[in-house]
């Protein structure tokens, strides 16, 4: 039977009743039921099947007067007698915070309140239960009619689970989807402390020492426990992309992809969408695979869906778009990072390892290899997973550059001048672009030479089809800051050495940079590769200004 992708459908029942193609992930249910830990958190990148898996869990576990066994016919969990003993047995609370993206804490609370009220609405009949006391009924009614205060909402799921337990005399399942979306918005829009405090109390109240709880499952992109979000939740088990348990429960495995993709397309699909490694298993992004099956074309699918607010924020405010590490990644190289799934969003303001870890767990990087040191720290080599994600980094550079040079006219003219040995024009255009660019990237208080380094790499990223642009690579007797090596012999090559003005005059700094270029023979690699001529530039930066000197030409 032909696999019919239901792109964007995350309701398990609808998928099954429509006869849509479904990659069987019901083994997750068996694993969870066999797991002694009552609360599990699954951090995964967006569009990796988190909401669909929670929907599947909900239809399997939730009490209902309707027999839903037809939804699970032929699936793995239906063959598990122990798991089937739990089928449709538990009152289940489900909430998703995936759409709670607000610019203020008050606006976030409006969204949170609405989602919680929707979860309560399914159990409005509890208001008529004579076994529930007047205080409990008042609490439930206030949540339902929107009059509960934010402080009261923190305990809403604890109240509802207790009421359900009293009504059904059966423990409760709590499913919380995309718990960290409001927290990410809080980080971007500066109400972080308020939203973290709310969720700390909310999660602790319903998931810790709750006698009414049978199982609790949370999904999100990040584990943010270093914000003390889970400080009261020592019963939670985190299954990140680093752990082997549940490694194949989210996303498609190589075997699963091969079962739905025609063999003639497999190699191309691998290049575009393969590359993730979860718990030692190669995993594909489901959204990209399903999109390919529907549209029969290879292009970025996943990266063009959903919100990229945090990535864009990091790309501009945190300097990602001007990072020499980003450019190394674009060249297909790896970067070395201490890997830690305890993401602290606030650390991204001043720690590059937190930034790269966020990109790893959010699906924008993959872990190529790793090993623990003697202190128990995990050292990893990170790389871009595939062609699709690579387009994100290219777009980030281009978006940043568009702010500094809207129509790219100055940038193109600058490159033309670099390849013509015209230092005067390079200096004039570089100064013009810097004047705008540094309004978005303030070099004060940061490693300025690296900042300018990333700035130049960003300007040159579009040259990739004709030039290999290298950064801090061995050349001659040292490491040139930037080499522009043509991919065809007989074209000009460029060497650049940067200095940031300190105690010296601009002229003295230029002379020092020029001497370094000559003494260390930076042009040797380009000449040996057939570049002709090779232009060498000393460039000095100070704030929004630049001075450029062309060193005596080599090979002319």
Pairing of the two strands 378-383 and 335-339: antiparallel
pLDDT on residue 352: 66
Task: List the strands of the sheet with 545-550, edge to edge.
Answer: 467-475, 478-486, 493-500, 534-542, 545-550
Cβ within 8 Å of residue 171, ≥6 positions away: 90, 165, 212, 213, 214
Reduced to 3 states (helix: H, G, I; strand: E, B; else coil), residue 214 is: strand
Count of C-beta atoms within a 10 Å radius of residue 265:
14
pLDDT digits (tens, 9 = 90+) for 68-95: 999 999 999 999 999 999 999 999 999 9
Phi, psi of 265 (to 5 degrees): -100, -5
* 282 band by pLDDT with thresholds 50, 70 and 90: very high
| Spatial distance between the Cα atoms of 39 and 162, rounded to a whole number of angstroms | 17
Closest CA to 315 of 374, 260, 362: 362
Q: What share of the chain is helix, strand, coil (3-state, %, to 5)?
A: 45, 20, 35
Residue position matching structure tokens 């690296």: 450
Q: How many CB atoms lie within 10 A of CB 266?
A: 14
Q: Which residue, 120, 218, 199, 115, is CA-closest to 164?
A: 120
* Residue 10 pLDDT exceeds 90: yes
What's the half-sphere exposure (Cβ side, CA atoms, 13 Å) at 8? 4
Q: What is the mean pLDDT of residues 452-474?
A: 76
What lies within 8 Å, CB to CB, of 169 at 6+ separation is none
pLDDT tops 50 at residue 555: no
CA distances from 428 to 99, 190, 401, 518, 553 (A): 47, 38, 17, 24, 20
Q: Quick one: tokens of 81?
A: 């007698």
- What average pLDDT does the segment 17-34 reach? 97
CA angle 157, 163, 164 (to 5 degrees): 90
- Burial (0-12, 13-18, 19+ Cβ within 10 Å), 140: buried
Closest to 498 (Cα-Cα) out of 356, 340, 324: 324
The answer to whether residue 464 scores a pLDDT higher than 90 is: no
| Cα 292 from Cα 298, distance rounded (Å) | 7
pLDDT of 273 > 60? The answer is yes
Q: How confident is the model at residue 308 (pLDDT cuts 50, 70, 90)?
A: low
What confidence score (pLDDT) does residue 462 get? 73
**pLDDT above 70 (res 438):** no
Query: Of how many residues is the chain composed?
Result: 556
Chain segment 177-227, per-residue pLDDT in tens: 999 999 989 988 999 999 999 999 999 999 998 999 999 999 998 876 655
- Whole-number pLDDT of residue 478: 67
- Mean pLDDT for the chain? 88
Tell me the percentage of the chain whose pLDDT exceeds 90: 65
β-pairing, 281-284 vs 252-253, is antiparallel
User: What per-residue confidence (pLDDT) applies to 349?
Assistant: 66
Contacts of 390 (CB under 8 A, 6+ apart): 330, 384
Whether pLDDT at 332 is above 90:
no
Q: Express each pLDDT in 472-497 by its tens digit.
A: 655 556 678 889 999 999 999 999 99
Domains of the chain: residue spans and CATH: 12-238 (3.40.50), 252-304 (no CATH), 309-390 (no CATH), 405-550 (no CATH)
Please tell me the least confidently modeled range out of 289-293, 324-328, 360-364. 324-328
Averaged over 106-110, what is the pLDDT? 97
**Which position has the higher pLDDT, 356 or 495?**
495
pLDDT of residue 445: 42
Residue pLDDT, tens place only, 114-152: 999 999 999 999 999 999 999 999 999 999 999 999 999
Q: Which of 223-232, 496-505, 516-525 has the lowest mean pLDDT?
A: 223-232
| Whether pLDDT at 437 is above 70 | no
Q: What is the reported pLDDT for 447? A: 42
Rounded to whole angstroms, the Cα distance separating 317 from 321 reads 9
pLDDT at residue 43 greater than cutoff 60? yes
For residue 274, the model assigns a pLDDT of 86
pLDDT of 477 reads: 61
Give the C-alpha separation, 112 to 114, whole Å.
Answer: 5
Q: What is the pLDDT of residue 420?
A: 95
**Pair 56, 29: CB distance under 8 Å:** yes
pLDDT digits (tens, 9 = 90+) for 309-322: 666 666 555 556 55
Give the pLDDT of residue 403. Answer: 67
Alpha-carbon gap, residue 274 to 254, rounded angstroms: 9
Coil/strand/helix, residue 294: helix
- Tell me how far apart the alpha carbons of residues 123 and 64 are, in angstroms, rounded to a whole number: 12
This model's pTM is above 0.85 = no
Confidence of residue 357 (pLDDT cuts 50, 70, 90): confident
Secondary structure (H, E, C), 172-189: EEEEEECCCHHHHHHHHH
Q: What pLDDT was estimated at residue 44?
A: 94
Around 475, how many Cα atoms within 13 Å sit in the side-chain half-sphere?
Answer: 30
pLDDT category at 15 given cuts 50, 70, 90 is very high
CA-wise closest residue to 379 among 387, 395, 368: 368
Residue that is written with structure tokens 């810097």 in the block: 434
The DSSP-derived string for 19-33 is T------THHHHHHH
Determine the pLDDT at residue 446: 43
Evaluate the CA torsion angle 510, 476, 533, 552 in order and state its sign.
positive
Quick one: which H or E segment has residue 481? strand 478-486
């Amino acid at each position: 039977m032909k696999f019919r992708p239901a792109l964007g459908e995350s309701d398990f029942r609808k998928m099954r009743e429509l006869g849509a193609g479904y990659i069987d992930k019901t083994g997750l249910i068996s694993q969870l039921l066999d797991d002694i830990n009552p609360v599990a958190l699954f951090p995964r990148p967006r569009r990796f099947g988190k909401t669909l898996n929670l929907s599947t869990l909900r239809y399997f576990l939730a009490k209902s007067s309707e027999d839903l066994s037809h939804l699970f016919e032929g699936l793995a969990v239906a063959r598990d007698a122990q798991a089937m003993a739990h089928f449709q047995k538990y009152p289940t609370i489900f909430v998703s915070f995936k759409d709670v993206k607000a610019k203020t804490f008050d606006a976030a609370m409006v969204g949170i309140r609405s989602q919680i009220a929707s979860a309560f609405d399914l159990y409005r009949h509890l208001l008529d239960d004579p076994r529930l006391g007047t205080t409990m009924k008042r609490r439930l009614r206030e949540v339902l009619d929107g009059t509960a205060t934010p402080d009261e909402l923190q305990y809403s799921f604890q109240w509802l689970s207790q009421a359900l337990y009293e009504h059904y005399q059966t423990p409760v399942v709590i499913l919380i989807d995309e718990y960290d979306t409001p927290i990410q918005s809080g980080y971007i829009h500066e109400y972080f402390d308020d939203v973290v405090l709310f969720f700390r109390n909310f999660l602790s109240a319903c998931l810790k020492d709750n006698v009414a709880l049978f199982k609790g499952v949370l999904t999100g992109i990040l584990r943010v426990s270093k914000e003390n979000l889970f400080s009261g939740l020592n019963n939670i088990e985190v299954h990140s992309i680093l752990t082997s348990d549940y490694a194949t429960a989210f996303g498609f495995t190589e075997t699963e992809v091969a079962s739905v993709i025609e063999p003639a397309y497999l190699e191309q699909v691998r290049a575009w969408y393969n590359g993730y490694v979860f718990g030692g298993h190669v995993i594909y992004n489901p959204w990209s695979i399903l999109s390919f099956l529907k549209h029969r074309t290879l292009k970025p699918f996943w990266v063009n869906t959903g919100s990229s607010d945090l990535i864009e924020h990091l790309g501009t405010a945190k300097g990602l778009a001007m990072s020499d590490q980003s450019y190394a990644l674009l060249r297909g190289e790896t970067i070395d990072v201490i890997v830690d799934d305890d993401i602290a969003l606030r650390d991204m303001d001043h720690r590059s390892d937190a930034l790269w870890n966020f990109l790893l767990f959010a699906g924008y990087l993959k872990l190529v290899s790793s090993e623990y040191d003697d202190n128990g720290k995990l050292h990893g080599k990170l790389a871009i997973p595939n062609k699709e994600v690579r387009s994100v980094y290219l777009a980030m550079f281009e978006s940043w550059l568009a702010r500094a040079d809207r129509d790219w006219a100055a940038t193109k003219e600058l490159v033309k001048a670099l390849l013509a040995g015209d230092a005067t024009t390079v200096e004039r255009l570089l100064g013009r672009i810097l004047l705008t660019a540094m309004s978005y990237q303030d070099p004060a208080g940061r490693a300025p030479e690296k900042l300018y380094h990333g700035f130049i790499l960003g300007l040159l990223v579009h040259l990739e089809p004709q030039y290999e642009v290298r950064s801090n690579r061995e050349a001659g007797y040292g490491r040139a800051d930037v080499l522009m090596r043509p991919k065809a012999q007989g074209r000009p090559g460029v060497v650049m050495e940067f200095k940031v003005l300190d105690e010296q005059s601009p002229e003295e700094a230029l002379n020092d940079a020029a001497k370094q270029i000559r003494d260390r023979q930076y042009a040797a690699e380009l000449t040996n590769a057939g570049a002709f001529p090779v232009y060498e530039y000393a460039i000095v930066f100070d704030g929004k200004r630049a001075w450029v000197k062309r060193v005596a030409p080599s090979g002319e």
